[in-house]
Structure 1
Protein backbone atom coordinates (compact mmCIF):
# COMPACT_ATOMS: atom_id res chain seq x y z
CA UNK A 1 0.00 0.00 0.00
CA UNK A 2 3.03 2.27 -0.36
CA UNK A 3 2.12 5.68 -1.68
CA UNK A 4 -0.57 8.25 -0.98
CA UNK A 5 -2.05 7.01 2.31
CA UNK A 6 0.23 9.42 4.17
CA UNK A 7 1.66 12.84 3.40
CA UNK A 8 4.85 12.25 5.34
CA UNK A 9 7.88 10.48 3.90
CA UNK A 10 8.03 6.96 5.28
CA UNK A 11 10.59 5.18 3.11
CA UNK A 12 14.35 5.23 2.73
CA UNK A 13 15.05 3.46 -0.58
CA UNK A 14 13.40 3.89 -3.97
CA UNK A 15 13.91 1.33 -6.72
CA UNK A 16 12.49 -0.08 -9.96
CA UNK A 17 11.59 -3.68 -10.68
CA UNK A 18 10.77 -5.30 -14.02
CA UNK A 19 7.90 -7.77 -14.24
CA UNK A 20 5.77 -9.43 -16.89
CA UNK A 21 3.41 -6.44 -17.15
CA UNK A 22 6.01 -3.68 -17.13
CA UNK A 23 8.14 -1.77 -14.65
CA UNK A 24 7.07 -1.22 -11.04
CA UNK A 25 8.25 1.48 -8.67
CA UNK A 26 9.16 0.25 -5.19
CA UNK A 27 9.49 2.13 -1.91
CA UNK A 28 11.56 0.06 0.50
CA UNK A 29 10.68 -2.96 -1.63
CA UNK A 30 6.93 -2.37 -1.53
CA UNK A 31 5.06 -1.54 -4.71
CA UNK A 32 3.97 2.07 -5.14
CA UNK A 33 0.22 2.52 -5.71
CA UNK A 34 -1.91 5.32 -7.11
CA UNK A 35 -4.42 7.23 -4.97
CA UNK A 36 -7.04 4.70 -6.18
CA UNK A 37 -4.75 1.86 -4.99
CA UNK A 38 -3.79 0.76 -8.51
CA UNK A 39 -0.26 -0.70 -8.65
CA UNK A 40 2.07 1.72 -10.42
CA UNK A 41 3.27 -0.48 -13.26
CA UNK A 42 4.41 1.48 -16.31
CA UNK A 43 5.37 0.48 -19.87
CA UNK A 44 8.99 1.68 -19.97
CA UNK A 45 11.91 1.67 -17.58
CA UNK A 46 12.47 5.34 -18.35
CA UNK A 47 9.05 6.23 -16.98
CA UNK A 48 9.60 4.09 -13.90
CA UNK A 49 13.00 5.66 -13.22
CA UNK A 50 11.53 9.16 -13.63
CA UNK A 51 8.79 8.37 -11.11
CA UNK A 52 11.29 6.81 -8.72
CA UNK A 53 13.48 9.92 -8.97
CA UNK A 54 10.53 12.13 -7.99
CA UNK A 55 9.85 10.03 -4.89
CA UNK A 56 13.53 9.81 -4.07
CA UNK A 57 13.93 13.60 -3.72
CA UNK A 58 10.97 14.06 -1.36
CA UNK A 59 12.22 15.25 2.01
CA UNK A 60 9.82 15.23 4.95
CA UNK A 61 6.39 15.50 3.34
CA UNK A 62 5.17 14.26 -0.02
CA UNK A 63 4.48 17.20 -2.35
CA UNK A 64 2.48 16.06 -5.41
CA UNK A 65 3.15 19.39 -7.13
CA UNK A 66 6.81 18.39 -7.47
CA UNK A 67 5.91 15.03 -9.05
CA UNK A 68 4.53 15.65 -12.57
CA UNK A 69 5.53 12.24 -13.96
CA UNK A 70 3.88 10.48 -11.02
CA UNK A 71 0.68 12.49 -11.49
CA UNK A 72 0.70 11.68 -15.21
CA UNK A 73 1.06 7.97 -14.46
CA UNK A 74 -1.74 8.15 -11.90
CA UNK A 75 -4.04 9.70 -14.49
CA UNK A 76 -3.14 7.05 -17.05
CA UNK A 77 -3.77 4.19 -14.61
CA UNK A 78 -6.74 5.50 -12.64
CA UNK A 79 -8.61 7.43 -15.33
CA UNK A 80 -7.62 6.76 -18.93
CA UNK A 81 -7.24 3.00 -18.47
CA UNK A 82 -10.82 2.81 -17.21
CA UNK A 83 -12.38 4.93 -19.95
CA UNK A 84 -9.98 4.96 -22.87
CA UNK A 85 -12.63 5.24 -25.56
CA UNK A 86 -14.49 8.03 -23.75
CA UNK A 87 -11.34 10.09 -23.29
CA UNK A 88 -10.38 9.55 -26.93
CA UNK A 89 -13.80 10.69 -28.13
CA UNK A 90 -13.66 13.75 -25.89
CA UNK A 91 -10.27 14.78 -27.24
CA UNK A 92 -11.28 14.09 -30.84
CA UNK A 93 -14.17 16.53 -30.42
CA UNK A 94 -11.64 19.36 -30.25
CA UNK A 95 -11.12 18.85 -33.97
CA UNK A 96 -14.59 20.17 -34.71
CA UNK A 97 -13.88 23.46 -32.94
CA UNK A 98 -10.12 23.64 -33.23
CA UNK A 99 -8.47 26.86 -32.09
CA UNK A 100 -6.55 27.13 -35.36
CA UNK A 101 -9.78 27.25 -37.37
CA UNK A 102 -11.50 30.17 -35.65
CA UNK A 103 -10.08 33.42 -36.96
CA UNK A 104 -10.57 37.08 -36.21
CA UNK A 105 -12.36 39.20 -38.82
CA UNK A 106 -10.54 42.33 -37.65
CA UNK A 107 -8.17 44.08 -37.19
CA UNK A 108 -6.38 43.13 -40.37
CA UNK A 109 -3.01 42.86 -38.63
CA UNK A 110 -4.34 40.07 -36.40
CA UNK A 111 -6.12 38.43 -39.32
CA UNK A 112 -2.84 38.34 -41.24
CA UNK A 113 -0.86 37.06 -38.26
CA UNK A 114 -3.25 34.18 -37.62
CA UNK A 115 -3.11 33.17 -41.27
CA UNK A 116 0.68 33.41 -41.39
CA UNK A 117 1.19 31.31 -38.27
CA UNK A 118 -1.73 28.88 -38.32
CA UNK A 119 -2.24 28.09 -42.00
CA UNK A 120 1.06 26.16 -42.31
CA UNK A 121 0.07 23.95 -39.37
CA UNK A 122 -3.33 23.22 -40.94
CA UNK A 123 -1.53 22.41 -44.21
CA UNK A 124 0.73 20.03 -42.31
CA UNK A 125 -2.30 18.33 -40.76
CA UNK A 126 -3.84 17.85 -44.18
CA UNK A 127 -0.65 16.32 -45.58
CA UNK A 128 0.50 14.29 -42.58
CA UNK A 129 -2.67 13.44 -40.67
CA UNK A 130 -4.99 13.18 -43.66
CA UNK A 131 -7.32 15.81 -42.23
CA UNK A 132 -8.01 19.11 -43.97
CA UNK A 133 -9.68 21.48 -41.52
CA UNK A 134 -11.06 24.71 -42.91
CA UNK A 135 -10.60 28.04 -41.11
CA UNK A 136 -13.55 30.40 -40.66
CA UNK A 137 -13.82 33.99 -39.52
CA UNK A 138 -15.79 34.83 -36.42
CA UNK A 139 -17.02 32.73 -33.53
CA UNK A 140 -20.06 31.11 -35.13
CA UNK A 141 -19.74 27.33 -35.30
CA UNK A 142 -19.05 25.79 -38.69
CA UNK A 143 -18.89 22.05 -39.15
CA UNK A 144 -15.78 20.42 -40.57
CA UNK A 145 -15.54 17.60 -43.08
CA UNK A 146 -16.70 14.35 -41.48
CA UNK A 147 -13.98 12.25 -43.10
CA UNK A 148 -11.27 14.63 -41.83
CA UNK A 149 -12.62 14.44 -38.30
CA UNK A 150 -12.85 10.66 -38.52
CA UNK A 151 -9.18 10.45 -39.54
CA UNK A 152 -8.26 12.45 -36.47
CA UNK A 153 -10.56 10.41 -34.22
CA UNK A 154 -8.98 7.15 -35.39
CA UNK A 155 -5.52 8.47 -34.62
CA UNK A 156 -6.54 9.55 -31.12
CA UNK A 157 -8.07 6.15 -30.38
CA UNK A 158 -4.76 4.56 -31.35
CA UNK A 159 -2.88 6.06 -28.42
CA UNK A 160 -1.96 3.88 -25.45
CA UNK A 161 -3.21 4.82 -21.98
CA UNK A 162 0.00 6.62 -21.10
CA UNK A 163 0.23 8.37 -24.47
CA UNK A 164 -3.41 9.43 -24.16
CA UNK A 165 -2.87 10.82 -20.67
CA UNK A 166 -0.10 13.11 -21.94
CA UNK A 167 -1.95 13.93 -25.16
CA UNK A 168 -4.96 15.00 -23.11
CA UNK A 169 -2.93 17.78 -21.50
CA UNK A 170 -1.39 18.89 -24.79
CA UNK A 171 -4.82 19.29 -26.35
CA UNK A 172 -6.74 20.72 -23.40
CA UNK A 173 -4.06 23.25 -22.49
CA UNK A 174 -3.63 24.52 -26.06
CA UNK A 175 -7.28 24.25 -27.05
CA UNK A 176 -6.23 22.59 -30.28
CA UNK A 177 -6.29 18.97 -31.40
CA UNK A 178 -3.99 19.87 -34.27
CA UNK A 179 -1.40 21.48 -32.01
CA UNK A 180 -1.59 18.38 -29.82
CA UNK A 181 -0.69 16.22 -32.80
CA UNK A 182 1.99 18.71 -33.88
CA UNK A 183 3.54 18.37 -30.43
CA UNK A 184 3.65 14.57 -30.36
CA UNK A 185 4.98 14.54 -33.92
CA UNK A 186 7.64 17.12 -32.96
CA UNK A 187 6.63 19.39 -35.81
CA UNK A 188 8.35 22.35 -34.16
CA UNK A 189 10.07 23.09 -30.84
CA UNK A 190 7.54 22.77 -28.05
CA UNK A 191 7.90 26.43 -27.00
CA UNK A 192 6.97 27.52 -30.53
CA UNK A 193 3.88 25.32 -30.54
CA UNK A 194 2.78 26.78 -27.23
CA UNK A 195 3.24 30.29 -28.65
CA UNK A 196 0.97 29.31 -31.55
CA UNK A 197 -1.80 28.59 -29.06
CA UNK A 198 -1.48 32.13 -27.69
CA UNK A 199 -1.42 34.21 -30.86
CA UNK A 200 -4.51 36.19 -29.84
CA UNK A 201 -3.31 36.79 -26.28
CA UNK A 202 0.15 37.86 -27.40
CA UNK A 203 -1.35 40.29 -29.90
CA UNK A 204 -3.51 41.77 -27.13
CA UNK A 205 -0.42 42.21 -24.97
CA UNK A 206 1.26 44.13 -27.77
CA UNK A 207 -1.70 46.49 -27.97
CA UNK A 208 -2.58 47.03 -24.33
CA UNK A 209 0.36 45.80 -22.29
CA UNK A 210 0.81 42.71 -20.16
CA UNK A 211 -1.66 41.65 -17.51
CA UNK A 212 0.70 40.18 -14.92
CA UNK A 213 -1.89 37.86 -13.39
CA UNK A 214 -2.87 36.48 -16.80
CA UNK A 215 0.80 36.14 -17.73
CA UNK A 216 1.57 34.15 -14.60
CA UNK A 217 -1.34 31.80 -15.31
CA UNK A 218 -0.14 31.39 -18.90
CA UNK A 219 3.35 30.51 -17.67
CA UNK A 220 1.91 27.81 -15.41
CA UNK A 221 -0.02 26.37 -18.34
CA UNK A 222 3.05 26.55 -20.56
CA UNK A 223 5.07 24.57 -18.02
CA UNK A 224 2.34 21.92 -17.92
CA UNK A 225 2.25 21.82 -21.74
CA UNK A 226 6.03 21.34 -21.93
CA UNK A 227 5.87 18.64 -19.24
CA UNK A 228 3.11 16.80 -21.11
CA UNK A 229 5.34 16.74 -24.18
CA UNK A 230 8.20 15.31 -22.09
CA UNK A 231 5.85 12.71 -20.63
CA UNK A 232 4.66 11.61 -24.06
CA UNK A 233 8.23 11.15 -25.23
CA UNK A 234 9.02 9.02 -22.17
CA UNK A 235 6.74 6.38 -23.68
CA UNK A 236 9.36 5.75 -26.37
CA UNK A 237 12.61 5.90 -24.40
Structure 2
Protein backbone atom coordinates (compact mmCIF):
# COMPACT_ATOMS: atom_id res chain seq x y z
CA UNK A 1 0.00 0.00 0.00
CA UNK A 2 2.80 2.42 0.85
CA UNK A 3 4.36 1.86 -2.61
CA UNK A 4 1.03 2.74 -4.25
CA UNK A 5 0.79 5.91 -2.17
CA UNK A 6 4.32 6.91 -3.09
CA UNK A 7 3.51 6.47 -6.77
CA UNK A 8 0.36 8.55 -6.38
CA UNK A 9 2.33 11.27 -4.62
CA UNK A 10 4.99 11.36 -7.35
CA UNK A 11 2.20 12.30 -9.76
CA UNK A 12 0.42 14.66 -7.37
CA UNK A 13 1.21 17.76 -9.43
CA UNK A 14 0.20 16.25 -12.78
CA UNK A 15 -3.31 17.65 -12.51
CA UNK A 16 -2.66 20.46 -10.06
CA UNK A 17 -0.34 23.02 -11.43
CA UNK A 18 1.89 21.53 -14.06
CA UNK A 19 4.92 22.47 -11.97
CA UNK A 20 8.46 22.08 -13.27
CA UNK A 21 9.57 18.54 -14.04
CA UNK A 22 12.21 17.40 -11.59
CA UNK A 23 14.04 15.02 -13.87
CA UNK A 24 15.66 17.56 -16.15
CA UNK A 25 18.84 16.38 -17.81
CA UNK A 26 20.35 19.86 -17.64
CA UNK A 27 19.54 22.19 -14.78
CA UNK A 28 19.21 25.89 -15.60
CA UNK A 29 22.06 28.13 -14.52
CA UNK A 30 21.52 30.55 -11.68
CA UNK A 31 20.77 33.91 -13.31
CA UNK A 32 20.44 36.16 -10.24
CA UNK A 33 22.56 37.44 -7.39
CA UNK A 34 20.21 38.95 -4.82
CA UNK A 35 17.08 37.38 -3.32
CA UNK A 36 14.56 39.42 -1.37
CA UNK A 37 11.04 39.48 0.04
CA UNK A 38 8.86 42.50 -0.67
CA UNK A 39 5.32 43.51 0.34
CA UNK A 40 3.01 43.79 -2.67
CA UNK A 41 -0.72 44.18 -3.23
CA UNK A 42 -2.35 41.13 -1.71
CA UNK A 43 0.59 39.89 0.33
CA UNK A 44 4.28 39.22 -0.18
CA UNK A 45 6.50 38.35 -3.13
CA UNK A 46 9.97 36.92 -3.62
CA UNK A 47 12.27 39.03 -5.75
CA UNK A 48 15.34 38.00 -7.72
CA UNK A 49 17.57 41.01 -8.39
CA UNK A 50 14.53 43.15 -7.63
CA UNK A 51 12.16 41.39 -10.02
CA UNK A 52 9.10 39.54 -8.74
CA UNK A 53 9.24 35.77 -9.17
CA UNK A 54 6.75 34.18 -11.56
CA UNK A 55 5.62 30.59 -12.04
CA UNK A 56 7.67 28.52 -14.51
CA UNK A 57 4.79 27.51 -16.78
CA UNK A 58 2.19 30.25 -17.08
CA UNK A 59 4.52 33.04 -15.88
CA UNK A 60 2.03 34.17 -13.25
CA UNK A 61 3.39 36.61 -10.64
CA UNK A 62 3.55 34.81 -7.29
CA UNK A 63 1.97 36.55 -4.31
CA UNK A 64 1.51 34.72 -1.01
CA UNK A 65 -0.55 35.96 1.95
CA UNK A 66 1.96 35.09 4.70
CA UNK A 67 5.46 36.54 5.00
CA UNK A 68 6.76 33.27 6.47
CA UNK A 69 5.88 31.45 3.23
CA UNK A 70 7.66 34.09 1.15
CA UNK A 71 10.69 33.87 3.42
CA UNK A 72 10.81 30.09 3.06
CA UNK A 73 10.68 30.41 -0.72
CA UNK A 74 13.39 33.07 -0.65
CA UNK A 75 15.62 30.79 1.42
CA UNK A 76 15.30 28.06 -1.20
CA UNK A 77 16.18 30.50 -4.00
CA UNK A 78 19.14 31.79 -1.99
CA UNK A 79 20.43 28.27 -1.34
CA UNK A 80 20.85 27.47 -5.03
CA UNK A 81 24.41 27.17 -6.26
CA UNK A 82 25.59 27.65 -9.81
CA UNK A 83 22.50 25.85 -11.11
CA UNK A 84 18.85 25.85 -10.04
CA UNK A 85 17.62 22.44 -8.89
CA UNK A 86 13.83 22.36 -8.34
CA UNK A 87 14.22 19.10 -6.41
CA UNK A 88 15.80 21.10 -3.59
CA UNK A 89 12.98 23.67 -3.53
CA UNK A 90 9.88 21.99 -2.05
CA UNK A 91 8.20 25.22 -0.92
CA UNK A 92 8.72 26.85 -4.31
CA UNK A 93 7.31 23.77 -6.05
CA UNK A 94 4.25 23.65 -3.81
CA UNK A 95 3.42 27.33 -4.27
CA UNK A 96 4.05 27.13 -8.02
CA UNK A 97 1.63 24.20 -8.21
CA UNK A 98 -1.04 26.12 -6.31
CA UNK A 99 -0.71 29.34 -8.31
CA UNK A 100 -0.70 27.58 -11.67
CA UNK A 101 -3.68 25.43 -10.67
CA UNK A 102 -5.82 28.50 -10.15
CA UNK A 103 -9.03 28.96 -8.24
CA UNK A 104 -10.95 26.89 -10.78
CA UNK A 105 -9.40 23.72 -9.37
CA UNK A 106 -10.27 24.40 -5.72
CA UNK A 107 -13.22 21.99 -5.84
CA UNK A 108 -11.00 19.27 -7.30
CA UNK A 109 -8.47 19.75 -4.52
CA UNK A 110 -11.22 19.33 -1.93
CA UNK A 111 -12.44 16.24 -3.76
CA UNK A 112 -8.93 14.76 -3.69
CA UNK A 113 -8.74 15.05 0.10
CA UNK A 114 -12.21 13.55 0.46
CA UNK A 115 -11.41 10.68 -1.91
CA UNK A 116 -8.66 9.59 0.46
CA UNK A 117 -10.84 10.18 3.52
CA UNK A 118 -13.57 7.91 2.13
CA UNK A 119 -11.13 5.00 1.86
CA UNK A 120 -8.70 6.17 4.46
CA UNK A 121 -5.51 4.53 5.70
CA UNK A 122 -6.88 4.64 9.25
CA UNK A 123 -9.95 2.60 8.30
CA UNK A 124 -8.26 -0.52 6.85
CA UNK A 125 -6.63 -2.69 9.48
CA UNK A 126 -4.24 -5.62 9.48
CA UNK A 127 -5.47 -8.99 10.75
CA UNK A 128 -1.98 -10.02 11.90
CA UNK A 129 0.54 -10.03 13.49
CA UNK A 130 -1.07 -9.17 16.80
CA UNK A 131 1.60 -6.61 17.72
CA UNK A 132 0.81 -4.57 14.62
CA UNK A 133 -2.94 -5.03 15.14
CA UNK A 134 -2.57 -3.66 18.67
CA UNK A 135 -0.50 -0.68 17.53
CA UNK A 136 -3.10 0.22 14.90
CA UNK A 137 -5.90 -0.06 17.43
CA UNK A 138 -4.18 2.25 19.90
CA UNK A 139 -2.93 4.91 17.46
CA UNK A 140 -5.55 4.88 14.74
CA UNK A 141 -8.58 4.38 17.00
CA UNK A 142 -7.43 7.35 19.09
CA UNK A 143 -7.32 9.48 15.94
CA UNK A 144 -10.78 8.33 14.84
CA UNK A 145 -12.24 9.08 18.27
CA UNK A 146 -10.90 12.65 18.17
CA UNK A 147 -12.36 13.17 14.70
CA UNK A 148 -15.69 11.64 15.72
CA UNK A 149 -15.98 13.92 18.75
CA UNK A 150 -14.93 17.04 16.85
CA UNK A 151 -17.32 16.61 13.93
CA UNK A 152 -20.07 14.46 15.44
CA UNK A 153 -19.50 11.59 13.02
CA UNK A 154 -18.97 7.83 13.09
CA UNK A 155 -16.61 5.54 11.19
CA UNK A 156 -16.72 1.93 10.11
CA UNK A 157 -13.16 0.51 10.14
CA UNK A 158 -12.62 -2.89 8.55
CA UNK A 159 -10.02 -5.65 8.54
CA UNK A 160 -8.39 -6.32 5.19
CA UNK A 161 -8.52 -4.44 1.91
CA UNK A 162 -12.11 -5.01 0.71
CA UNK A 163 -13.90 -1.70 0.28
CA UNK A 164 -15.93 -0.60 3.28
CA UNK A 165 -18.23 2.38 2.55
CA UNK A 166 -18.34 5.05 5.22
CA UNK A 167 -21.61 6.66 6.35
CA UNK A 168 -22.60 9.43 3.96
CA UNK A 169 -23.37 11.89 6.81
CA UNK A 170 -19.77 11.38 8.00
CA UNK A 171 -18.35 12.19 4.59
CA UNK A 172 -20.65 15.20 4.21
CA UNK A 173 -19.58 16.69 7.55
CA UNK A 174 -15.91 16.11 6.84
CA UNK A 175 -16.32 17.80 3.47
CA UNK A 176 -17.86 20.78 5.24
CA UNK A 177 -14.77 20.93 7.47
CA UNK A 178 -12.65 21.97 4.46
CA UNK A 179 -15.35 23.78 2.48
CA UNK A 180 -14.08 27.29 3.27
CA UNK A 181 -10.36 26.66 2.80
CA UNK A 182 -8.44 28.61 0.19
CA UNK A 183 -6.32 27.48 -2.74
CA UNK A 184 -2.97 27.44 -0.92
CA UNK A 185 -4.30 25.64 2.14
CA UNK A 186 -6.04 23.01 0.01
CA UNK A 187 -2.92 22.47 -2.09
CA UNK A 188 -0.97 21.87 1.11
CA UNK A 189 -3.68 19.52 2.40
CA UNK A 190 -3.53 17.53 -0.83
CA UNK A 191 0.22 17.23 -0.34
CA UNK A 192 -0.19 16.03 3.26
CA UNK A 193 -2.91 13.63 2.17
CA UNK A 194 -0.82 12.16 -0.64
CA UNK A 195 2.25 11.75 1.54
CA UNK A 196 0.40 10.14 4.44
CA UNK A 197 -2.32 8.29 2.56
CA UNK A 198 -4.85 9.84 4.91
CA UNK A 199 -7.37 12.57 4.27
CA UNK A 200 -8.57 12.10 7.83
CA UNK A 201 -5.18 12.92 9.31
CA UNK A 202 -4.91 15.96 7.02
CA UNK A 203 -8.33 17.25 8.11
CA UNK A 204 -7.50 16.55 11.74
CA UNK A 205 -4.23 18.45 11.46
CA UNK A 206 -5.99 21.41 9.84
CA UNK A 207 -8.37 21.57 12.81
CA UNK A 208 -5.52 21.11 15.30
CA UNK A 209 -6.72 17.73 16.56
CA UNK A 210 -3.26 16.28 15.87
CA UNK A 211 0.23 17.73 15.82
CA UNK A 212 2.34 17.34 12.70
CA UNK A 213 4.45 14.72 14.47
CA UNK A 214 1.35 12.75 15.47
CA UNK A 215 0.19 12.78 11.85
CA UNK A 216 3.58 11.57 10.60
CA UNK A 217 3.80 8.83 13.22
CA UNK A 218 0.27 7.54 12.59
CA UNK A 219 0.78 7.53 8.83
CA UNK A 220 4.01 5.54 9.09
CA UNK A 221 2.90 3.07 11.74
CA UNK A 222 2.95 0.10 9.36
CA UNK A 223 6.26 1.13 7.83
CA UNK A 224 7.88 1.65 11.23
CA UNK A 225 6.68 -1.77 12.34
CA UNK A 226 8.33 -3.38 9.31
CA UNK A 227 11.55 -1.46 9.96
CA UNK A 228 11.55 -2.66 13.57
CA UNK A 229 11.17 -6.24 12.38
CA UNK A 230 13.47 -6.35 9.36
CA UNK A 231 15.62 -3.23 9.45
CA UNK A 232 15.68 -0.17 7.21
CA UNK A 233 16.35 -0.17 3.48
CA UNK A 234 18.68 2.68 2.48
CA UNK A 235 16.80 3.69 -0.66
CA UNK A 236 13.46 3.53 1.16
CA UNK A 237 14.81 5.74 3.91
CA UNK A 238 16.06 8.26 1.35
CA UNK A 239 12.57 8.38 -0.17
CA UNK A 240 11.11 8.77 3.29
CA UNK A 241 13.45 11.68 4.04
CA UNK A 242 12.31 13.44 0.86
CA UNK A 243 8.69 12.83 1.79
CA UNK A 244 9.37 14.34 5.19
CA UNK A 245 10.79 17.48 3.59
CA UNK A 246 7.67 17.90 1.48
CA UNK A 247 5.44 17.08 4.45
CA UNK A 248 7.13 19.72 6.61
CA UNK A 249 6.71 22.32 3.87
CA UNK A 250 2.99 21.56 3.51
CA UNK A 251 2.61 21.69 7.30
CA UNK A 252 4.32 25.09 7.36
CA UNK A 253 1.86 26.43 4.76
CA UNK A 254 -1.18 25.20 6.70
CA UNK A 255 0.22 26.61 9.95
CA UNK A 256 1.00 29.99 8.37
CA UNK A 257 -2.41 30.38 6.79
CA UNK A 258 -4.26 29.09 9.85
CA UNK A 259 -2.49 31.70 11.96
Q: What TM-score, normalized to structure 2?
A: 0.81
Q: Is the 8 A contact 1:91 1:156 kept in 2?
A: no
Name the residue aligned to 1:86: 108
Cα distance, 1:141 vs. partner?
0.5
SS of the residue corresponding to residue 39 of structure 1 reads coil
Name the residue aligned to 1:52: 74
Cα distance, 1:79 vs. partner?
1.8
Name the residue aligned to 1:98: 120
Q: Is the 8 A contact 2:90 2:245 kept in 1?
A: no
Q: Any unmatched runs of 5+ in structure 1?
A: none
Change (3 A) 1:121 1:80: farther
SS of the residue corresponding to residue 16 of structure 1 reads strand
Q: Does 1:108 align with 2:130?
A: yes
In structure 2, C-alpha distance between the alignment counterparts of 1:17 and 1:223, rounded to whole Å: 25
Name the residue aligned to 2:35: 14
Residue in structure 2 matching 1:63, options 72, 85, 104 = 85
Cα distance, 1:150 vs. partner?
0.9
Change (3 A) 1:9 1:215: closer
In structure 2, C-alpha distance between the alignment counterparts of 1:48 and 1:35, rounded to whole Å: 17
Name the residue aligned to 1:135: 157
Deviation string 1:26-75 (CA, Å, 9 cap, x unpaired) is 22222210012111111122222222232233232112222222111101
Cα distance, 1:212 vs. partner?
3.1
Change (3 A) 1:219 1:29: closer
Deviation string 1:110-147 (CA, Å, 9 cap, x unpaired) is 22221111101000001113332221111110100101
Name the residue aligned to 2:60: 38
Q: Is the 8 A contact 1:34 1:40 kept in 2?
A: yes
Change (3 A) 1:27 1:211: closer
Q: Is the 8 A contact 2:38 2:45 kept in 1?
A: yes
Runs of 4 or more, structure 1, over 4 Å off, are none
Q: Is the 8 A contact 1:8 1:62 kept in 2?
A: yes
Q: Any unmatched runs of 5+ in structure 2?
A: 1-19, 21-26
Equivalence map 1:125-164=2 (5 Å): 125-164=147-186
Deviation string 1:155-177 (CA, Å, 9 cap, x unpaired) is 23321111111111111111011
In structure 1, C-alpha distance between the alignment counterparts of 2:223 and 2:88, rounded to whole Å: 28
Query: How many residues of Structure 1 are paired with residues of Structure 2 in the alignment?
Result: 233
- Greater relative contact order (CA < 8 Å, ≥ 6 in sequence): 2
